[in-house]
Amino acid sequence: LMKENVDAGLPLFHNAGKYEVYAQLDVERVKGDLHNWEGVCYFPQIEALEKMHEQYPEATLVLNKRSVSSWIESVVNHMGMAKRLSYCDITGFPPIHQLDLTIDMLRDFYIAQVVRVREFVVKYPSHRLVEVQIDEDNAGQKMVEAFGGEVSCWEVKNTKEDVKKRSIRDEEMKNIRKARNKNSKESKRN
């Protein structure tokens, strides 16, 4: 939606609802190969920070961080994310064949984003920046200090275990739907 809005000259969050929090803004849903892919790959937190500022000049930005090596491990091991990223044409990270993608390239991409967001907030001091080291034990407490609430509200999600459980559940649901469709077709024949 955000990419469509930008392409149409509309505000970044046009028709995105009236929420207090927008998170996980990027999307990299691509299929195919490096030279012949379809889908969408867009990182508004990289490509559209100025557009965000135009619409929300006093927004609080949350910069979730973790050790660079942990982030790289996640990108490399999380459901083909490194391959999807390699297809994208992101500022500072042009398309490249997945086999040519290096740890140094991923590290530089990560560090560049941290620097980009920090420089953006210096340029526009009307924004507040909350940096949270999500792989530290006190990450929940940092969120409470910044936004209030209880530490128990700030749980760790989307871990390897969460993704594995979701994948198993999705496969089970797929099998259930297949069985229902098969039974439905058989009962129609009878």
Confidence band for 125, pLDDT divided at 50, 70 and 90: very high
DSSP H or E stretch at residue 46:
helix 44-47
Q: For residue 166, give Cα distances in angstroms to 29, 84, 152.
A: 18, 20, 22
In this predicted model, what pLDDT tens digit does every residue of 7-47 receive, in sequence order?
Answer: 999 999 999 988 888 888 888 887 777 777 788 889 999 99
CB-based burial label for 74 (10 Å; 0-12, 13-18, 19+): middle
In this predicted model, what pLDDT tens digit does every residue of 52-104 receive, in sequence order?
Answer: 999 999 999 999 999 999 999 999 988 888 888 888 889 988 888 888 999 99
Q: Is the predicted pLDDT of residue 106 greater than 80, yes or no?
A: yes
- pLDDT score, position 103: 93
